Chains A and B, each alone.
Chain A
């Protein structure tokens, strides 16, 4: 399957730093490219379809270059900081949020070798770095010297902490089933799996861990602060929440990180529950071919899941802060714990 012209490329011997550099650049390009695609596909077109309007039509065919126009517009805007803002923290906050986003992409496997760092504790690492964004959001809320931003930042902190727990607990079920935290192992377990001897579709964990999958989806909706869990932004109450004072390129960074995180979490969810980059072993696609097919497979799954997130986002009204906490602490966490107990029992029995 590998084209002839690519053979010498594979034979190249690279130093570790060269290899890492290439991986990081390719990973960054893939993350940004997917994010841009998702923004065009869902935020511009899918939502316009839902709201019975056309969306962007002028920039490029069917408005496909609209995103470039928007980015260009933001880059030109003046970078304003409120006079009473804590300028250092105010400037650093978007960088912290964006860093947290890109760190998630580091461990998501897109093929047999296509992963920047194949950590043994992969999923543990993902859940850890994704929480870093809370710090950035709190920094933004506090440093903006704006009451709306402060309320938004505090709401975000409360919400993200509350929804970290169901997120972690939903993953535990998968980890128990596989017996490993490594994302490649989780993918392999699903590709090689069988359902009562039937190997046609492998064993994606969405079937055995359906409760976990639903909890994970709800929790990422909240982690991404998308409606119905968007009180930190709440444009009808808090105007724009923690990023109300940001303009120009700094706002662009928040925008990118919001949607890149959506892609990242969707990729994690598809790795954990939908089989990741792999196709079932029984389909007999060679490992060499998967170098090329794998990234496409996981991209398609991730884009589909982002679509679900946006579908929900543009359909429902938002919860109130206390209702959201009630849902997390009284609904999702007990359910996730029950799921873990059930999974553990099944693991021991079968």
Chain B
């Protein structure tokens, strides 16, 4: 750190005073730009009110709530199997991953455990929803920066993954496949082979993105050093998932708190990047897609045999108690705080979704950036509106 001399301080104050005088004389006040709720870059209906000075942001505030659907309250009048239908729609790009922590919380209270085969299939589908989700992010980041072609590749290759999810569960987007005590069905015949070939497609997509976006000088110019989140600030705002790992925080619930899933038995790595900028977040997600493809290959090879459903009563009543279970979802930590009073329905369900915390850093992060960087930063934070508003 270089010391700031009095002279520098004085000249800074003088410059500020001169600016203020000009502002008063010419009445150049800032402009309030309302980005959203309907805007191509907000993935839905997030609204950002930005105060601009020219193209520079003085203050920006996200306003969530345009898509609030009241899932926490609605789930209080649904039986436990019915709740999964709702929570599928929280992060709609990685639906299956939403079901898992809720089911795990209910299983924890009921003291049942899914058989090993069900655990492994859960892990496969969990990672596939991560791939389906993050592939779209990788392509979409290009659109945010003005390159329209990558997103078409993303939609093309995501289809191979969604096809596999559909073959196994019957639903492309909303599988609703996870049950307390196991899974609805076993996998169809030949599914494992076609899954492995779809993972080859995913890997070649990742290579394509590395050529088309990551290696492009313009992309690097636009993302490196833009929206830097230091690790301590990321911790303070409760960022999780790839956003935290992009800031160098080596924390992944799959490795650090793995319950009910088969990650312990796999050979994989948690990727982090020390920079904390938009580029780092993109890079971490790209590596995570590759890592997920690798994990799915291992899971398909080592899938144990046996039943996919444990013995559970026909009518599910969860005993009295409270449980919080969180997993590492595509967007970050997703947790369910489940309070049961021994009835057919949850007494109270609190959903901790990743995007809400991830987006709460925007007022801090958007201060002083240019208008195009708002879009870069929002794109690299990667939120899903359903995941913010629930």
Contact with B along A134-156 (1 / 0, CB 8 A): 00000000000001100100000
The answer, among A236, A316, A321, for a CB contact under 8 Å with B216, is A316
Please name all residues of chain B whose beta carbon is closer than 8 Å to the beta carbon of A319 when the two chains form the complex: 218, 221-222
Residue A23 at the B interface, CB < 8 A?
no
Please name all residues of chain B whose beta carbon is closer than 8 Å to the beta carbon of A52 when the two chains form the complex: 152-153, 156
Residue B136 at the A interface, CB < 8 A?
no
The answer, among B148, B149, B371, for a CB contact under 8 Å with A237, is B371
Interface residues of A in 287-325 (CB under 8 A from B): 314-323
Contact with B along A315-348 (1 / 0, CB 8 A): 1111111110000000000000000000000000
- Counting chain B CB atoms within 10 Å of each CB, the highest count among A227, A228, A230, A317 belongs to A317
Residue B252 at the A interface, CB < 8 A?
no
Q: Is A227 touching B147 in the complex (CB atoms < 8 A)? A: yes
The answer, among B31, B142, B152, for a CB contact under 8 Å with A147, is B31
> How far is A239 from B218 in the complex, measured between Cα atoms in Å?
21
Given A147-B33, A236-B144, the answer on whether A51 and B375 have CB atoms closer than 8 Å is no
Residue B307 at the A interface, CB < 8 A?
no
> How far is A148 from B213 in the complex, measured between Cα atoms in Å?
27
What is the CB-to-nearest-CB distance from A142 to chain B, in angstroms, rounded to a whole number? 14
Please name all residues of chain B whose beta carbon is closer than 8 Å to the beta carbon of A227 when the two chains form the complex: 146-148
Q: Is A234 touching B372 in the complex (CB atoms < 8 A)? A: yes
Q: Is B146 touching A228 in the complex (CB atoms < 8 A)? A: yes
What is the CB-to-nearest-CB distance from A237 to chain B, in angstroms, rounded to a whole number? 5
Q: Is B374 touching A316 in the complex (CB atoms < 8 A)? A: no
The size of the chain A interface, using a CB distance under 8 A, is 27
What is the CB-to-nearest-CB distance from B197 to chain A, in angstroms, rounded to a whole number? 18
Contact with A along B32-47 (1 / 0, CB 8 A): 0110000111000000
Residue A53 at the B interface, CB < 8 A?
yes
Interface residues of A in 87-117 (CB under 8 A from B): none
Residue A215 at the B interface, CB < 8 A?
no
- Counting chain A CB atoms within 10 Å of each CB, the highest count among B31, B144, B148, B221 belongs to B148
Please name all residues of chain A whose beta carbon is closer than 8 Å to the beta carbon of B277 when the two chains form the complex: none
What is the CB-to-nearest-CB distance from A239 to chain B, in angstroms, rounded to a whole number? 6
Q: Is A321 touching B146 in the complex (CB atoms < 8 A)? A: no
The answer, among A234, A317, A321, for a CB contact under 8 Å with B142, is A317
> How far is A246 from B371 in the complex, measured between Cα atoms in Å?
23
Q: Is B372 touching A231 in the complex (CB atoms < 8 A)? A: yes
Q: Is A151 touching B55 in the complex (CB atoms < 8 A)? A: yes
> How far is A314 from B146 in the complex, measured between Cα atoms in Å?
9
Residue A235 at the B interface, CB < 8 A?
yes
Please name all residues of chain A whose beta carbon is closer than 8 Å to the beta carbon of B146 when the two chains form the complex: 227-228, 230, 234, 236, 316-318
Contact with A along B135-152 (1 / 0, CB 8 A): 000000011111111001
Q: Is B218 touching A236 in the complex (CB atoms < 8 A)? A: no
Residue B99 at the A interface, CB < 8 A?
no
> How far is A320 from B147 in the complex, measured between Cα atoms in Å?
13
Residue A21 at the B interface, CB < 8 A?
no
Given A317-B145, A317-B219, A319-B221, the answer on whether A237 and B153 have CB atoms closer than 8 Å is no
Please name all residues of chain A whose beta carbon is closer than 8 Å to the beta carbon of B144 when the two chains form the complex: 236
What is the CB-to-nearest-CB distance from B369 to chain A, in angstroms, rounded to a whole number? 10
Residue B389 at the A interface, CB < 8 A?
no
Given A237-B374, A321-B370, A321-B372, the answer on whether A314 and B148 have CB atoms closer than 8 Å is yes
Q: Is A236 touching B370 in the complex (CB atoms < 8 A)? A: no
The answer, among A53, A235, A314, A320, for a CB contact under 8 Å with B40, is A235
The answer, among B41, B149, B213, B373, for a CB contact under 8 Å with A51, is B149
The answer, among A237, A314, A318, for a CB contact under 8 Å with B218, is A318
Given A227-B147, A316-B147, A319-B222, the answer on whether A236 and B41 have CB atoms closer than 8 Å is yes
Residue A50 at the B interface, CB < 8 A?
yes
What is the CB-to-nearest-CB distance from A134 to chain B, in angstroms, rounded to a whole number? 18
- Counting chain A CB atoms within 10 Å of each CB, the highest count among B146, B149, B213, B371 belongs to B146
Closest 8 CB pairs of A and B: A318-B146, A317-B145, A51-B152, A317-B147, A320-B372, A317-B146, A236-B41, A237-B375
Q: A317-B142, A318-B146 are in contact. List 4 more A-B contacts (CB 8 A).
A: A151-B371, A236-B145, A236-B375, A317-B219
